[in-house]
Amino acid sequence: MRPPVWPIDLNPPVFLAPMAGITDLPYRTLVARFGAGLVVSEMVASQELLSRRPGTREKAELGLGVEGTSVQIAGREAAPMAEAARMIEAQGARLIDINMGCPAKKVTQGASGSALMKTPDHALRLIEAVVEAVNVPVTLKTRLGWDDQMLNAADIARRAEHAGIKMITIHGRTRCQFYKGTADWQAIRAVREAVDIPVVANGDIVSASAAQQALDQSGADGVMVGRGAQGRPWILAEISHALFGTPSPDVPMGDAFAAMVEEHYDEMLRFYGADLGSRVARKHLGWYMDTCATPTGLRRDVLTSKDPSETKGLIRQAMQYGAGAQAA
């Protein structure tokens, strides 16, 4: 197999997956600081993007113009998707990703996300419209198919490559699996064999050993980490070190871990404002405490505190109970 031709410089090929409500600017920045070949913005609906025309904050949230960031868009109609792609390209996007993998009912009931896998001809019209609308590389993220009776990722990938898609990421589950069961990395191999462009394996990649198994079983050229990075923003860098020989990350321990969490908390408050930022931060604080032996009562206090000053004091107490690291 010849070496993959990446759409832009994506080194190392260990990427952060787009996750709604999670991969916002503060978290992407933190992950990128440890090391990642690519981070992907939260999915943005094309119609929503067109209606609100990104301002300064929205540009930052999407990562427009930020090196090593892909902007993911979703939609069900070709014209709005193309217009949204042109808009974000004009505002600095360096890589645009099309979402055909989101399994959420509110997305699929709108005939977008992974629902597009049920209508591949229509999906290809969307892909062609976006590719023809912009000059930056366009990539695609899908699942294996809608369900076990419709495993059409390889066929869609082949057609998408002919339409001009430069890279494909496959989550090794069907839409109807949502996140249940285990990702079928072996099934991704059919996509790898169907196309010449880079293929990235996604799903259940939570460690370096899992990443290596995913690559071995799928034949993929890289991996994308989603839920495995929750509470462990350094995990991509650890995987990159183990698989591709990049420098080993300085994983924070003890007080350094508490300081990192406090800094992330402060960045969320700055980005969202104190009220919304405090609410958004709770899930991250919970994941961070999952890496620690935080006592139940203290954990509850952290997650129910409504005063940012009080929360910051509690963070220092809560995060010092563990090393703040899990083995890759």
> Binding site for FMN: what residues are annotated?
18-20, 72, 141, 171, 226-227
Query: How far is Cα 291 from Cα 324, in angstroms, rounded to an integer?
Result: 6
Q: How far is CA 32 from CA 26, 39, 65, 264, 300, in A?
A: 10, 7, 15, 13, 30
Q: How many CB atoms lie within 10 A of CB 199?
A: 24
Q: Which amino acid is at 37?
A: G
The C-alpha atoms of residue 79 and residue 193 are separated, in whole angstroms, by: 31
17: β partners: none
Mention every residue, 6+ apart, whose C-beta is less than 8 A from residue 46. Answer: 73, 74, 75, 77, 80, 81, 83, 84, 85
**Cβ count within 10 A of residue 300:** 11
Catalytic residue among 102, 126, 153, 160, which? 102
Q: Dihedral of CA 305/308/313/314: which sign?
A: positive
Q: Which parts are annotated binding residues?
A: 18-20, 72, 141, 171, 226-227
Q: Are 141 and 90 in contact (CB under 8 A)?
A: no
102 is catalytic: yes
Q: Which positions are annotated as active-site residues? A: 102
